[in-house]
Amino acid sequence: MIKLIFIFFTCWIAFPAISANFINEKIGDTVYSINITGNINSGDAINFQNKISELKKEFESSEMKKKYKDWKFYLDVNLNSKGGNLTEAMKIGYIVRANESTTWVPINAECLSSCVFILAAGVNRNVIGKVGIHRPYFEALNSNATTLDIKKMRDENKKLMKEYFANMDVSDSIIEEMMSVEPNKIKILSEDELTKFRLSVMDADHEEKMIAEEAQRYNLTSSVYRQRNAITEKKCGYSFTASRENRLPEFWKCQNMTMLNITESEYINREAKAKSTCFKMEQGPNRGRCLFDVRILGK
């Protein structure tokens, strides 16, 4: 984690010193979530880290993890906060990134002010609710401070914010946008602005990692995978007109045929072999691997 050094604590909205709430939840066998709500204040990063440690301990001691040693821990972070202490939000953000977590602003939720720094930390950022920004201000200043003194401190904070956003693969042009909004106001970002600032897209480095992993599954290079994936997006669009039971199977069928560059008859043969071979196994990762080996690798 990069060390944060702030000359003064920088705030976004004046809140009473009530810590944020961290509510954890198990979503699946390997996926957990933490909901961050309320005001972000000093000490919240430690509480957040403690929550993650609790979830990891629960995951490591679960029966499924004991049974399948190679299963990994995944964390979603759901945000609904008006902001608070910027330094603390950035500390939380670095913890989010260290765990390669996905961040969400759910429907009817809002992520305002310093909360945006936590949203930015996700390796994948998903925004359905509202995201708002404004200019940070100092919680307390010496009355003898000159305008030049304050400018130097503000410039130092802008430098730290720029470094932070660079680490999170978020455009630093968002800083100037923040500075253009008065502290007592909020600018809600549009979908185009969220995309422009990279607050609603996957981190580029994480995307490269995910592409490499997917390409390897299909025995392809990343370059070829990208080319065939582009064809898939045009050719195999997820159809909402198909019946619910056929929707995903048809998409996967089209996707796999395109990725593997095989005919429909070849895919049907593999699918039939997969069902006869793999469905005899207990439901779980081993069956999943068997299905993949037969359907995709043609073993």
User: What pairing do the DSSP bridges indicate for beta strands 74-84 and 31-40?
Assistant: parallel
Buried b vs exposed e over 149-167: b needs ≥16 C-beta within 10 Å?
A: eeeebbeebbebbeebbeb
Please give the model's pTM, rounded to 2 decimal places.
0.82
CA 176 to chain centre: 24
User: Quick one: fold of 10-202?
Assistant: 2-enoyl-CoA Hydratase; Chain A, domain 1 (3.90.226)
Residue 174 C-beta-side C-alpha neighbours within 13 Å: 33
Q: Where are the alpha helices (DSSP H) in 43-138?
A: 44-60, 63-67, 86-98, 115-120
CA atoms of 21 and 80, how far apart (whole Å): 10
Domain residue limits, the chain = 10-202, 205-295
Per-residue pLDDT of the chain (299 residues; tens, 9 = 90+): 444 434 334 444 434 445 678 887 777 778 999 999 999 999 999 999 999 999 999 999 988 888 778 788 999 999 999 999 999 999 999 999 999 999 999 999 999 999 999 999 999 999 999 999 998 877 766 778 788 878 888 888 889 999 999 999 999 999 999 999 998 899 999 999 999 999 999 999 999 999 998 898 888 999 999 999 889 888 887 544 444 455 567 888 888 889 889 898 988 888 888 888 887 777 667 777 777 777 776 77
Q: Strand locations in 52-195, DSSP E?
A: 74-84, 102-105, 110-112, 124-127, 130-133, 137-138, 187-188
What tokens appear for 102 in the block?
Answer: 């996905």
